[in-house]
Amino acid sequence: MMIEAMTKDPARKYLAEVEEALHDIDAELREEILGGLAEELRGLTPEAVLARIKQMGSPAVIAAEARIQIEGQTAVMATDRQVEPAWYSTVGALFITVGGIILPVIGAIIGYAMLWISRDWTRRDKKIATWTVGLATSVAAVVVAVVLLNASNDPLDVPLIPRWFEAVANGMIFVQLVNVIVGIRLLARRNSR
């Protein structure tokens, strides 16, 4: 147990330092670098982990080299790909969180579009967010359909608010709550870097 903890800790600490050093570069690339380093440290003895970390080099050097590569690439591609402003992903996450309240449905769609365009989130972040809201929308649609199918046909039973309206409104509120959770998670992921 002790040996296992010793094996994991230097690797985890090193990867956290590399992640911090790479905080300002493209999320997918950052994940690729971290994944490559992590797979190399996995399953090694504590001594081997420390030796491999020494070979890999300091997080600052890795980040500096990565930036040189990216900047060279950006200079070449500057005409067809603009650098993303720092606020873009935050605004996208805020649209997901509250966009649906300000502009029902459309606000949230804008947020998800910005999420997929942004290079600040990993593909995994994007997929989890989109699948979560997709699943929530499907569940809401099924519940609304079931409620409407089971609605009373009694002509004397006329509620103040039409049942279809109440069911759709409740479904939209449920999806909006899920959007708030998804948006907060995205903002927390971004702030933890």
Site for another protein in 27-66 (CB under 8 A): 28-29, 32-33, 35-37, 39-40, 42-43, 55-57, 61-66
Total number of residues that touch another protein (CB under 8 A):
25
C-beta of 69 vs 152, nearer to another protein: 69
Contact 121, 27 (CB under 8 A): yes
CB–CB of 65/33 below 8 Å?
no
> CA nearest 97: which of 174, 173, 189, 180?
180
Interaction residues for another protein, span 122-181 (CB under 8 A): none
> Does position 104 bind another protein by CB under 8 A?
no
What type of residue is 1? M
Q: How far is CA 157 from the centre of its chain?
A: 46
Of the candidate residues 45, 69, 138, 152, the single one contacting another protein (CB under 8 A): 69
- 10 Å Cβ neighbour count for 24? 11
- Candidate ranges 70-78, 93-101, 123-131, 159-167; the one touching another protein (CB under 8 A): 70-78
CA angle 185, 84, 107 (to 5 degrees): 50
**By the criterion CB under 8 A, which residues form the site for another protein?**
28-29, 32-33, 35-37, 39-40, 42-43, 55-57, 61-66, 68-70, 72-73
